[in-house]
Amino acid sequence: MLAEPLKKAQKFITSGNLDKAESLCTKILKKDPLQTDALHLLGIIALNKKHFGTAIQSFSKALKVGPNHAANCYNLGVAYSSNGQSDLAVEYLKKATELRPDMACAHRDLCAALKEAGDFEQAVQFGRTAVTLTPEDPGANYNLAAALHEWRDFDAAFKYYKRADALLPNNPAILFDLAQVYLGRGETDLARECFHRVIEIYPKEIESYRQLMRLTSYKTPDHQDIARIKALENEAWLSDNDRTAVYFMLSKAYRDCGLHDEAFAYAMKGNKIQDRMHQFDPDEFADYISALIEFYTPERISELSKLGHTSSSPIFIVGTPRSGTTLTEQILCCHREVFGAGELDWVPRCVNALPDYLESSKEYPVCVGNMTHNAAATLASKYLRYLHSLASDEPRITDKMPGNFLHLGFIHMLFPNAQIIHCQREPRDACISMFLEYFPGVVSYSYDLYKLGAYYSQYLRIMKHWRSVLPEGTMLELNYESMVQNQEAETRGLLAFLDLQWDEACLTFHKKKRRVFTASHLQVTQPLYSSSVGRWKIYHKHLQPLEEGFKYQAKH
């Protein structure tokens, strides 16, 4: 009896008449609330309307009636993915691939969901299967390329980005990512060409404008690029993120021209928007630092280190952003025995997941008290497996996540033989560099000068603690200004600390071709220069709030 109404509903969906299809499915379900085909169609309608919560409800109900329905598993996974619930998306997309190993779209979308969930190895595995099943699908090639890119296999990622572009020419997302890969390969002209193509196709793609401006050094504020971006400044269609990017583009351009007050004013405008969107509470941060100091006592550090892996392969490079961490990694990865893996988010992700992993009701760091030898060994092995999958044959591998300065107790527990490089820079130089830099990700403490100073005071506080509790020889303090003034002597000291033989190539780090993801990637393709030393003095009249922030004291 229901076959005809369901066919009619399907035709409405195909023709785009979603409201009539929805009305028809609702009538069917009033008569039979467990009619799985109607629930399935209702879920499809909700997906098309971007009502993801409703789609999740419909597909979930259908699966309660028929739990082994591959299409419903797939669509529920898509709904969870669209709703930002990547872990649940992975669960149902994976079930769809198990029920239907030949369902290429499930493998393709599972690749993307696993990437979002941070499981890059499995993302690559399912992405390769998707491409094998449907080699002409641009989406499968693109998702695999993105997963390979996160996995740091840049040559393979480049191949699949190119393939996706050939299969689906003039797609802005593919072109933009391809441009980023060209940048990483040092092929700047091809990157510019891709960014220009993106803008031609979609003139509101602000990030492409920003990337093009980053590649250009401006001598005069009359340049046509600056006029073009100023024309965008008051456009009503700009999102907060887009308007922020426009302000930072203008700040960078005026800075190039030596118009520093104008540059600072635009950075201030951009930071005010970001500060409104992403609040940073110095007191909460100070409480977290206090918790770390209270937990990681010398005695506990000593006890926990007995659980750790004996490997000395990892080299952890830490500090604040803009403190010389990228430069340090670039110097080191020129050594024949060192691979530079870049900013890896494995440690912070692991720390965030620790309470669940240890089945503890306590938050980090207190939950680490539940750590067992087996649990620590499993974590260390996972990290090493990931690390060595990124490198070629190099025995030493750098992890240059600056914010890992918060996690040095945890890192030392996992790898008591690993060495840590702490990059330091004149505080005002480091902070003004952060304040003037646009970070596409959230760096909430850098959007307000007082909060930035308060953050920096707590960074100094935790680093003082790590110096007092970590064993001698674990950490080297590397000063940016000293590196600029005496590159060879500082480099020799760095290599000696790491028990690495001298390698002349480390002095010509700017010639090394490798993918650098950070805001400093253009700087490390040039020889060392001293113009950034003492840069804060240009902006000294604006820095009183920063000075006040430096005086911040934790309340507990």
pLDDT of amino acid 457: 98
* 455 in a structural domain: yes
pLDDT of amino acid 15: 83
Of 16-30, 109-123, 197-211, the one with minimum mean pLDDT is 16-30
For residue 316, list its beta bridge partners. Answer: 399, 420
Q: Which of 32 and 474 is assigned the larger pLDDT?
A: 474
Binned at pLDDT 50, 70 and 90, residue 515 comes out as low
pLDDT of 139-168, one tens digit each? 999 999 999 998 888 889 999 999 999 999
Distance from C-alpha of 56 to C-alpha of 306, rounded to nearest angstrom: 46
* 376 in a structural domain: yes
pLDDT of amino acid 556: 65
pLDDT of 263-275, one tens digit each? 999 999 999 999 9
Instruction: Answer whether residue 523 shows pLDDT above 60.
Output: no
CB contact burial 242-276 (16+ within 10 A = b; e otherwise): bbbbbbbbbbbbbbbbebbebbbebbbbbbebbbe
What is the pLDDT averaged over residues 182-193?
90
Binned at pLDDT 50, 70 and 90, residue 393 comes out as confident
Binned at pLDDT 50, 70 and 90, residue 513 comes out as low
Instruction: Answer whether residue 335 shows pLDDT above 70.
Output: yes
Q: Which two tokens stand for residue 537?
A: 């003095």
pLDDT of amino acid 338: 96
What is the pLDDT averaged over residues 100-126?
95
Concatenated DSSP letters of 110-168:
HHHHHHHHT-HHHHHHHHHHHHHH-TT-HHHHHHHHHHHHHTT-HHHHHHHHHHHHHHS
Number of domains in the chain: 1
What is the pLDDT averaged over residues 224-245?
93
What is the pLDDT averaged over residues 376-402?
92
User: Residue 400's domain spans which residues?
Assistant: 282-550
Q: What is the mean pLDDT of the chain?
A: 92
* 384 in a structural domain: yes
The pTM for the full model equals 0.84
Give counts: helices (H), strands (E), the chain.
27, 5
Distance from C-alpha of 359 to C-alpha of 375, rounded to nearest angstrom: 11
Q: Which two tokens stand for residue 98?
A: 């198990």
Instruction: Answer whether residue 7 shows pLDDT above 90.
Output: no
Percent of the chain with pLDDT over 70: 96
Binned at pLDDT 50, 70 and 90, residue 499 comes out as very high
Instruction: Answer whether residue 322 shows pLDDT above 50.
Output: yes
Percent of the chain with pLDDT over 90: 79
* 333 in a structural domain: yes
Binned at pLDDT 50, 70 and 90, residue 519 comes out as very low
* 423 in a structural domain: yes
* 116 in a structural domain: no
Binned at pLDDT 50, 70 and 90, residue 555 comes out as confident
* 307 in a structural domain: yes
Q: Which of 10 and 135 is assigned the larger pLDDT?
A: 135
Binned at pLDDT 50, 70 and 90, residue 391 comes out as confident
Nearest of 322, 285, 551, 280 to residue 435 by alpha carbon: 322
Distance from C-alpha of 111 to C-alpha of 98, rounded to nearest angstrom: 14
We report the CATH number of the domain holding residue 496 as 3.40.50.300
Q: List, in sequence order, the alpha helices (H) in 215-259.
A: 224-232, 240-256
Binned at pLDDT 50, 70 and 90, residue 538 comes out as very high
pLDDT of amino acid 529: 66
* 14 in a structural domain: no
Distance from C-alpha of 160 to C-alpha of 14, rounded to nearest angstrom: 32
